Structure 1
Amino acid sequence: MADMEKARAAFDRFDADGDGQVTPEEFKHAMAEMGDAFVTGPVAEAVIKSKDTDSDGRMSFDEFWQALQR
């Protein structure tokens, strides 16, 4: 998914409050809405942590984009 517009649309699905950051809770909620009710709090925290390069506990669009480039 190297297309910036598609990446932004995907990110926006997770960023429920539109603040430019995805929290573990937002990630968990979005995954449940997409049909994956098995993403627990600890799983969501681990996913965000794996992409959170500045260690603020949230995933920015830049961090999301970087993860897509790997």
Structure 2
Amino acid sequence: MANIEQARAAFDRFDADGDGQVTPDEFKHAMAEMGDPYVTGPMAEAVINSKDADHDGKMSFDEFWQALQG
């Protein structure tokens, strides 16, 4: 991502309910909408968990942004 505005737009595509957190279900659903119907529940959980710095089972925008920086 080139900048924080682009990152926010990308994050918002995953955050279906707009609560500022992406759950594994939201991630799976967004990936299917973007053309990848093969993301399973366990795969989505693994992706979210890999970015979930506070271990709450969800990915916040701050966690997403940090992942993009590293």
- TM tier, shorter chain? over 0.9
Corresponding residue for residue 44 of structure 2: 44
Corresponding residue for residue 18 of structure 2: 18
What does the per-residue CA deviation read over 1:18-61, in whole Å, with 9 as the maximum and x for residues that have no partner? 00000000000000000000000000000000000000000000
Unaligned runs of 5+ in 1: none
Aligned to 1:36, what secondary structure does the other structure show?
Answer: coil
TM-score, normalization by structure 2: 0.99
Corresponding residue for residue 69 of structure 1: 69
Large movers: runs of 4+ above 3 Å: none
TM-score, normalization by structure 1: 0.99
Unaligned runs of 5+ in 2: none
What's the CA shift for 1:2?
Answer: 3.5
Corresponding residue for residue 8 of structure 2: 8
Aligned residues: 70
RMSD, matched Cα: 0.4
| Identity value in percent | 83
